[in-house]
Amino acid sequence: MLANDTQGRHILPADHIQNLVDYIRTPHPWIDTSHYEMPVIVIFFCAAMLWVWAYIDAIRGIIKKKTIGIPVVAICLNFGYEVTTSLFFLPDMGMLVAFGCVAWMVLDIFIVVHAYRYGDKQIRNPYIKKNFKTLFLLGLVTAFIASYFFITNYDIPIAVFDAYIINLIMSVSFIYLVFIPGFEGNSLTTAWTKFLGTGLTSVAFLLHYNMPFLTTLYIGCAVFDIYYIYLLYQKQKGMLDYAIK
């Protein structure tokens, strides 16, 4: 059974765990308001659209520049999360969000495949650069196994803990990309849509969950996302003269 907080909001996964096949076989509303207030669902959906925009911009960058504008370590972690929440731990916000997660995973497959091809452009260390593809594959497998067991054993619906831990790692890792000499993957569109998408998601879950741990992650993501945007504008103006050697 799902445990409830003092306001009746569910906070533990237990009987929520449902794979994609069972989910399809079971009737679900397109928008499920039995667990979430409508404002939370609306805000979350708007945030999801911003993340889709971020993915599309990243894919456009891959096609146009043959480079990856998302930190490869975050790609490994995020793909593990998306596979788990799309196939083994579907969200309980209704079919619209559940099938949206599957669509995000499909978009991310394109990014992962091309991260395998071009991700070494983010690497400066000669050994890691030489062995990048092997290390990347190991990272994908490890991230999936870790996400699967963490989410299905310890997380809350929609796997908010795992999502925000990965999000914070992604936000911090973006800073590194600014200072790679000759790197063309940075995008203000990706930076802004990632920041706004994460920010709206934070607002949605702040309305739903009262957890200091999550609030700390919300703030951390926002701080580093804003700093990344600031650095990109500084670089655009030619005001960053130093870079990683």
Domain boundaries, the chain: 14-236
Say how many residues make up the chain: 245
DSSP state of 8: S
Least confident of 31-45, 113-127, 159-173, 202-216: 31-45
In tens, the pLDDT along 188-240 reads 999 999 999 999 999 999 999 989 999 999 999 999 999 999 999 999 888 77
CB-count burial class (<10 Å; 0-12, 13-18, 19+) for 163: buried
- DSSP bridge pairs for 4: 10
Q: Which of 191, 184, 185, 183 is nearest to 228 (CA)?
A: 191
Ramachandran region, residue 113 (left: φ > 0; alpha: ψ -120 to 50; beta: rest): alpha
* Contact present, 82 and 108 (Cβ < 8 Å): yes
The confidence band for 10, taking pLDDT boundaries of 50, 70 and 90, is: very low
Average pLDDT, the chain: 88
User: 47 φ, ψ to 5°?
Assistant: -65, -40
Q: Using CA atoms, how far apart are residues 65 and 72, in angstroms rounded to an integer?
A: 16
